[in-house]
Amino acid sequence: MHLALYALTAGAFGIGVTEFVIMGLLLEVSRELNVTISAAGLLISGYALGVTIGAPILTVLTARWPRKQVLVGLMVIFVIGNAACALAPSYGWLMAARILTALTHGTFFGVGAVVATGLVAPDKRASAIAIMFTGLTVATVLGVPFGTWLGQHYGWRATFWAVTLVGLVALVVLAALVPRDRSQPEASDWRADIRAIARGPVLLGLLTTVFGYAGVFAVFTYIAPLLTQISGFADSAVSPILLIFGGGLVAGNLLGGRLADRNLSRSIIGTLAVLAATLALMTFAFTNQIAAIAFTGLLGAAGFATVAPLQMWVLSKADGAGQSLASSFNIGAFNLGNAIGAWAGGMAIAYGPGLALVPLVAAIFPLFSIAAALLAIRASKQPVLATACT
């Protein structure tokens, strides 16, 4: 694999840490800025909104720029945004700085995925995407716990200074290792790009992403109460168990890339089917502590095994025109799925069958995702073998 892939991984690591680390620092932020915990929690929603809105807008605005220039420019914004978070004098300033930082997220992963696939042979493209996304998974496994510990011991601002430093390192590595574009990007007409995305297989691919990740986050958002209230673990056991979840993320991400390189259509249906089965069985697994630990790791593996295949699908069906924009839209689709899943899980707890059955409710989403994927495959006139669902 090209060394530049690991430069993209470094950038993905920094972005992953800044997205998720705030979850472990809500108490510290709310105390210092004198806001409620629920208001501090909106810093997560604000970031997600910035990703969803910023991805297509920045991708369109930078469409004629060399891709290396885009990636380096995004990392500059990332560094400035995190430094602004560390210096924020008030809640409003912190929210604005979070949204500024989030603007880089979708476009970095969208353009980065296009760059990654151009660095390797055609039969390694999905694996290249998976390597880039490994930065996100490692951020979840190592970066977020360390950032949380740092913020709890030295203040939440120290965490954002640390992420700023990570961004500076990633900026240098990207500038040094990512090759210059071999040719100037073709003049891009955003209307033509939108038409490319509006094709049936691409739209259905985006819908597949939304439903698939809604299922993952319907459970993951409430994993702590599931482990403590249903499985009977002590609060102190949650963090070590989540390390197992993170290990599953890394393994599933790399496995999904390899499967997609072999057969893209089968890998999408297969990984989504495994995800649906995992979520359904978690309903029973949480009643046993050993099974709960095992299935928490399996959820990470099954959930992230879908990432590279889904990203590769959208890239392949955009077929050149609008490829970067389609890739960025798919990152927004992941974030939209996160939001829908968290909402659905909360509704199930408050008004539905209750906390214990949240995984069973979540399992419905991958089934919708499989249906959308089958329609996408049919729309693209790719045959689905009988073994695709096994």
> What is the rounded average pLDDT of the residues 318-347?
77
Output the six-digit token pair for 52.
């969803």
Confirm if 301 and 248 have CB atoms less than 8 A apart. yes
Whether residue 220 lies inside any domain: the answer is yes
Whether residues 156 and 217 share a domain: the answer is no
Q: What span, in angstroms and rounded, lies between the C-alpha atoms of 239 and 244? A: 9
Q: Tell me, yes or no, whether 204 and 282 share the same domain.
A: yes
pLDDT digits (tens, 9 = 90+) for 79-132: 999 999 999 999 999 999 999 998 888 888 888 888 888 888 888 888 888 888
Residue 186's pLDDT is what?
56
Domain contains 193: yes
Please indicate, yes or no, whether residues 175 and 196 belong to a single structural domain of this protein: no
- Whether residues 260 and 149 share a domain: the answer is no
Task: Tell me whether residue 335 is in a domain.
Answer: yes
Crossing angle between the packed helical segments 144-154 and 156-177, to the nearest 10 degrees: 140
pLDDT band at 7 (very low <50, low <70, confident <90, very high): confident
172 and 247 part of one domain? no
CATH number for the domain spanning 341: value is 1.20.1250.20
Q: Give the mean model confidence (pLDDT) for residues 15-20.
A: 84
List all residues 6 or more positions away from 234 whose beta carbon is below 8 Å from its beta carbon. Answer: 228
277: in domain: yes
Cβ proximity of 289 and 233 under 8 Å: yes
Higher pLDDT, residue 63 or 77: 77
Q: How far apart are CA 377 and CA 380, in angstroms?
A: 5
Q: Do 67 and 177 fall within a single domain?
A: yes
Confidence of residue 197 (pLDDT cuts 50, 70, 90): confident
**What would the DSSP string read from start to end of 221-256?**
TTHHHIIIIIS---GGGHHHHHHHHHHHHHHHHHHH
Please tell me whether residues 145 and 234 are part of one structural domain.
no
> Percent of the chain, pLDDT > 70?
91
- Say yes or no: 5 and 119 in one domain: yes
Which of 183, 215, 233 terminates a domain? The answer is: 183
Above 90 in pLDDT, residue 365?
yes
Could you tell me if 19 and 85 lie in one domain? yes
Whether the per-residue pLDDT at 185 is higher than 60: the answer is: no
What's the structural domain count of the chain?
Answer: 2
- The helix/strand count (H/E) of the chain reads as 18, 0
pLDDT band at 149 (very low <50, low <70, confident <90, very high): confident
Q: Is the pLDDT of residue 183 over 70?
A: no
Give the pTM.
Answer: 0.74
Task: Write down the mean pLDDT value for the chain.
Answer: 84
State whether 57 and 100 are in the same domain. Answer: yes
Domain boundary among 163, 183, 203: 183
Residues 172 and 199 in one domain: no
Q: Output the pLDDT for position 82.
A: 95
Q: Convert the pLDDT of each residue in 36-60 to its tens digit.
A: 866 776 787 788 778 878 878 887 7
Residue 128: give the domain boundaries.
1-183
What's the pLDDT at 385? 40
Evaluate whether residue 390 is within a structural domain: no
Task: Say if 387 falls within a structural domain.
Answer: no
Residue finishing a domain among 162, 183, 204: 183
pLDDT digits (tens, 9 = 90+) for 169-181: 989 988 988 888 6
Residue 389 lies in a domain: no
Inside any domain, residue 328: yes
Average pLDDT in the 346-354 region?
A: 84
Q: Is 364 found in the same domain as 313?
A: yes
Q: Calculate ∠ Cα 48-51-54, nearest 5°.
A: 140
Share of the chain above pLDDT 90, in %: 26
